[in-house]
Structure 1
């Protein structure tokens, strides 16, 4: 028995024995997938077991089994760990702990009967975290680091027809872990494909497709360089040329909006390689990122790879689902944060059309805790590893037309290693610009990039008032991360988008991020940091996506879809026109069909088609709407105009709504109740019209025959992740300030109950304990005998220096299941997340009103509600209000850590809010803009209560 020292684990080099990187390709050469069930043994330390398991004939019959691709910690062996940027081990580069979970993997396989006898073979690993050592049939092949990058080994002479033994030792921690501190779960294992590739004699090892486009002449120039001479054919273009020989032909260009691919073949004496060619040219010119001569506006997302059961081990169906969801929600760009994705994902981006910033597998964020001291990117010993990572990304992905920008990595400080990477990439592929956000001087980059800059700062950059080095001021600008989509939010998306569209230099941004990284859990629903007993973790900061873990769109994604829609529809209802503006960068509007609908009080009255010219990108036109339908009823009216797909596309069916706009046509009549009924006292009860009140407190007991409990002013909401903010932020963290002020424990003092000639007036003061400030609040009840009107007046007392979370009334109903309302919908909306709220008539169950954020928080408000029906009551607002209804109290929601903590009770708690504080993005980005603050100032608002038609709890 012999032990191998772990020197290779802590070696800063990328490893030994692996072949040079090359392009990912599909060819007619045979291949054998080695995915599936592998034998597995877990050890506590890197030295705990000898390497005899790699020998032929080793009996692993008593080992466990794991699925490859996969992570062993998600298959019952150990536990996952989540940190944002703190290393979960002592920072002592390049050393790692002796307690280093190590997984030994064994796979015995036979070659197919038709496996060719001649030629060689390559064993390919597409992704292993974090360090692997490999043997085949007892012979060591080598070791490697670079978790999300491919590594290949020549194995031809070692193969035999049957009983091949592939052994892989995987260490959770290695020197490479210092380069992979990427705000995600630490999940060791062989999590991408393992494949045996036959390499025929005279087969292609590497090739580079150069396919540029000249927008002036409408021609493309193709040249395919190959290490082995051959011929390139593209039947649709009549191309048949030798490798290395350029040819220029008329082509349709590739763009994310028009992803035209040409099928071709690179043929050598030994192999035929499939080519998917997209002609396009990327350049930074005139201070702008241009594709095919035109500036582009990125409407993007950051995408970590994630599946709630399988972690980063994604299957093709999940990757396709991601791309289709992006396309259907108007997203046109992806930053592959913070590593190159599975190669199949880029194939899908080529096919369906997405701009891609391909990011290197590099982040050293944890070194910020020590002022970047010992940062590997500024240490020459690590530069070979950095260059290896850059090369493995570029060589693998260089033939994808969707990849328009290379990124050096993320949050790795600055240093000589990054400069070396940028110089190598510029030299190898000058056809694409280089990105890196952490380079404030833009010394190594071709564009200026920031993350989480405020709206004000972004505007200054757009206007060229940001200062900084001269080189930086001449470059285009993107927000590589913005609008942190954690929990309820992000807010302010529409305000950012208006800035992007107003200033040419601002070429868009990438929302952080695509999907919540919740891990499916039998007791908790979805687990996040700390749920596995981690001694160091960052809680639910890992759940910050536009999709819930099961890939259901969040309200944030619906809002983003509306904000970035490529056709803008606005209008003037009195003039009877709609303005149609084409926001595409390349496509005209010929693929869209337009329709109108005329709605009164949310009910469609008439509809039809709308003739819109095939406007070119950037063009707009005024289009006449039809006359108001004859016989349309009186009431508040809207025109709703929609742009739909006129035919099926690869990413969505015909009639998919790409954009919509709503144009007011007539105003809403204000609800009115004549104060004719008089309060009547008797037996401890005050009666006013259809309501009974407690004579002592003035609190309503029943309204329109429906029992009502606890009706009073409410200013508290279960704080959102964005309310609470991030610990490192210096601006106002509203959730913390609200709690310090005591707004979560307001007390209600009764000052007077005053029955009058035509009203019942109740005077109160609402204030937190231990504070002088408060809200003087008056409830005034009037009735016409059938309906009941409540007018609430509030006046702040004292020095209110922070806004309120909410302002409205809360009460409980004993029975309510179905809810109908006329107002904004169908989903939740808040002051700065309201763009996607369309005025109409909507219906839902109380349970369906809840938004299932992984960590429970304020959610589910419907905005601009004119009236709502639930629990036997019809409620009209003056002005329109926010509606929330749930089967638990705000306090119970506030205390919950997971959705499973929320237990429905017998009472439905209803909030009718005059105002809500904005949402913002302060879980990592900026707070809500001041115009979305709910200031403590005098306010008055009213609600009219009446019975629903049948006088019973609403049923639909």
Structure 2
């Protein structure tokens, strides 16, 4: 066979979906047909352009011994220690000139070569299919020297008939992969651009008479409790479901009594599709999805989505996920009370949907389509409104629907994401509605709901969401009659998102609001030897969007962030409310917030705390309430000896037995209710300050006589104590570039809050107090804070009262308000207050009042881009570095081994070098967090206004500081 010396690469810029591939069909694993995985080590050659090399490498006998090797599935830019190029991150900008369908001449092209033998027991009869589950972005394929086709659609399956080309041994599979193609214009999906064969490559034997394609229709009638099963098959056969005594011919419907499938009760029936040549296992879930009375209903009941958006990601392998990683994702979602996932912005690996079927998640399955970069030219030349591209759009829709149509977890087909509007999207919607009427169609960009079955929005602010809930939002008549979801909200970038509880309150208040999907599941940090985790710009990209790619509820290593812990609490499926009319909270109201499940799978327990210590505990008898039902459950009377200073109840709902997604005892929900408030610390000013040579002594403390600055407290060196209003700005403080009026990070810096000057006015030694008056203000501005430090003591304890009064016209809230000081050393920290993790005014639903302990290092939250973090809320007292500090009122505390300024300047965690000194912040107030990195900022009730304030701290020796329990 002869080969071109300069191969034609016209297909790279062809707007068609490709040629040679078989029609799309359902994804399944055969019970008895042979398969051969071609994953593993492949020979690899990288070229700078699409036509740099001829295609002689595809010929039998070609010597690729000098080539490098890469692992398939994989992305070549994440292999080879940088020898094969680098990742590129953009949010929506195309990293090449927008000139559809053309792409740059500089087009990294990877030639992949795999030589394989057929197993000795490989059948000689029947056909064989070569399957690619995902290749970015365009591939041409040869088998044993024969060109079998090319394809686009990176996150979609493509199959080729190859049985006539195979031989027992020495088969040569050659795949040429181009990073850029016409298909790239359809795949601008706010993620890393990562070329390669990143999903499985498999050889599938197809026996004579085997299944070609099939469609499982399994509906449920909630009024009768019956399910109707009908399996369409391209090849005649029989459908067997032993547990239901079903044995019927394909195409024939059968109705029987069944248990329905829901995300809360994912009942699957094992069955088989049996044809003359093959047995195919079926996992059947009976459920009916409908738009009824203006609501999304499953099995007759409205559904409230408590969801997340999920890009596929692994910090070392990119989008090449293995089954265990996918399972870990689903288990983490279930354990954090998440019930839905939107597969942003492409169909996931098909095994992920198997897990959603098995473990129970509602799925919005999204097409591999986004053309967001065309917004830069006001959507001119947008492919979704250009008839030349419609065949490619329909091909992508069909490959998604046909592959995933047998998954009961999939309740919505989504046309794609941020692709504007146009005739191509309408064609997709019409085809999908015609092919599968058993599911609804979603697309956020269609605000008039011409093509969709739901009104969907991104990042609508709380006030607009309430208007939508009250049906005061206007829009077309069709839209006003449709349910509403936020397909993206609460941008989980860095510290945050804030305001989750406020959104959830709206979702639960108005029937029309059927929940939403947090953006997003995981930070897309790339593991890096020097930077820890890299993000946009760390690979020298010409264009990039920085750490906007790190906006997940999981850190890159899949550790839950505080945002995920907060979300778990906010959406927990059991609600506890205390009876505030009874001084001992004699009853607790328990409400089942599930849509389908009763509470029989849960056990309940109570505990009674005094001053943060559990005095009594026991089981709580809660009836197996049905969905939406409530009951008032009596709590036991606390014993006489249990009554103390501050007391309260904690009630928990736990799994009563092991489940497929968590072990017995896993905490599903909890609530806390105060009984007796804590008495505020009292320090009678019985000791007067005494002036000495350069020092002032007051009780257990010494002060500099000239400045009034405290030097030691109870023998502990305390340095630099002063008012502090600055925090290392969060991603949400810095905000999105289009929200200029409320990007407080920049506004704070412009005002100079990061460089405040402290002017000493007076040091007053009184009869019972040492008073230091100062003015704290930024250079070049007339605003300031009049600050008074008043120190008193009873001989053993030292009380500091700080009074702050704003001067000038303050137009901005403060980042924080409190005091900051240094301790020479501190390691273990013990406190009574909120924990165990960080909390801020609008992110503290998951902060549980208890006694907690940690090291200073463990207090830090490792956001990929360093920023304000680690504050513990509602603290009564904290012990660290030899001191015990009580608050009046409760306070936030933060302790770290670097300064706020060092934290503020860092771009990666590796920029922070811990020292022995510990910087401590005790805050009277913190500004809220919000999610303004893409959504709304903090709601007004969480703003820290520059107003007059007074707060106190009581310092004393902590005699047990060196003997804390680990």
TM band (smaller chain): over 0.9
Q: Give the corresponding residue for 1:151.
A: 158
Structure 1 residue 730: deviation in Å? 4.3
Match of 1:788 among 788, 798, 801: 798
Secondary structure, counterpart of 1:318 in structure 2: helix
1:245 aligns with 2:256: no
Match of 1:370 among 377, 401, 414: 377
Distance 1:889 1:500 in 2: 40
1:515 aligns with 2:522: yes
Match of 1:307 among 310, 314, 320: 314
Alignment TM-score, normalising by the size of structure 1 = 1.00
Distance 1:80 1:820 in 2: 43
Q: Is the 8 A contact 1:349 1:402 kept in 2?
A: yes
1:873 aligns with 2:883: yes
Distance 2:685 2:592 in 1: 52
Secondary structure, counterpart of 2:642 in structure 1: coil
1:2 aligns with 2:21: no
Q: Give the corresponding residue for 1:630.
A: 640
Secondary structure, counterpart of 1:617 in structure 2: coil
Q: Give the corresponding residue for 1:538.
A: 545
Counterparts of 1:317-716 in structure 2 under 5 Å?
317-572=324-579, 574=583, 575-716=585-726
Distance 1:577 1:147 in 2: 57
Structure 1 residue 629: deviation in Å? 2.3
Secondary structure, counterpart of 1:430 in structure 2: coil
Match of 2:191 among 177, 184, 206: 184
Secondary structure, counterpart of 1:419 in structure 2: helix
Distance 2:726 2:120 in 1: 70
Distance 2:187 2:963 in 1: 56
Structure 1 residue 638: deviation in Å? 1.2
Match of 2:103 among 83, 90, 96: 96
Alignment RMSD (CA, Å): 0.8
Q: Is the 8 A contact 1:816 1:953 kept in 2?
A: no
Structure 1 residue 906: deviation in Å? 2.4
Q: Give the corresponding residue for 1:761.
A: 771
Q: Give the corresponding residue for 2:25.
A: 22
1:51 aligns with 2:55: yes
Deviation by residue 1:384-413 (Cα, 9 ceiling, x = unmatched): 000000000000000000000000000000
Distance 1:848 1:15 in 2: 53
Secondary structure, counterpart of 1:532 in structure 2: coil
Please, which moves more after superposition, 391-400 or 4-13? 4-13
Q: Give the corresponding residue for 1:68.
A: 72
Extract structure 1 runs of 4+ deviating beyond 3 A.
950-956
Aligned residues: 956
Q: Is the 8 A contact 1:817 1:955 kept in 2?
A: no
Structure 1 residue 683: deviation in Å? 1.2
Match of 1:275 among 260, 267, 282: 282
Distance 2:642 2:390 in 1: 73
Q: Is the 8 A contact 1:870 1:954 kept in 2?
A: no
Alignment TM-score, normalising by the size of structure 2 = 0.99
Q: Give the corresponding residue for 1:194.
A: 201
Q: Give the corresponding residue for 1:895.
A: 905
Structure 1 residue 4: deviation in Å? 1.6
Structure 1 residue 558: deviation in Å? 0.2
Q: Is the 8 A contact 1:600 1:636 kept in 2?
A: yes
Distance 1:423 1:732 in 2: 42
Structure 1 residue 630: deviation in Å? 3.0
Q: Is the 8 A contact 1:869 1:954 kept in 2?
A: no
Structure 1 residue 954: deviation in Å? 6.3
Secondary structure, counterpart of 1:26 in structure 2: coil
Structure 1 residue 486: deviation in Å? 0.2
Match of 1:230 among 234, 237, 252: 237
Deviation by residue 1:335-362 (Cα, 9 ceiling, x = unmatched): 0000000000000000000000000000
Question: Structure 1 730/470 Cα, relative in aligned 2: closer, same or farther at 3 Å?
Answer: farther
Distance 1:950 1:94 in 2: 71
- Note the residue ranges of structure 2 that are not aligned, 5 or more in a row: none
Structure 1 residue 949: deviation in Å? 2.1
Distance 2:641 2:811 in 1: 53
1:817 aligns with 2:817: no
1:912 aligns with 2:922: yes
1:858 aligns with 2:865: no
Q: Give the corresponding residue for 1:737.
A: 747
Distance 1:950 1:155 in 2: 75
Distance 1:78 1:709 in 2: 50
Distance 2:171 2:299 in 1: 50
Q: Is the 8 A contact 1:846 1:886 kept in 2?
A: yes
Question: Structure 1 165/581 Cα, relative in aligned 2: closer, same or farther at 3 Å?
Answer: same
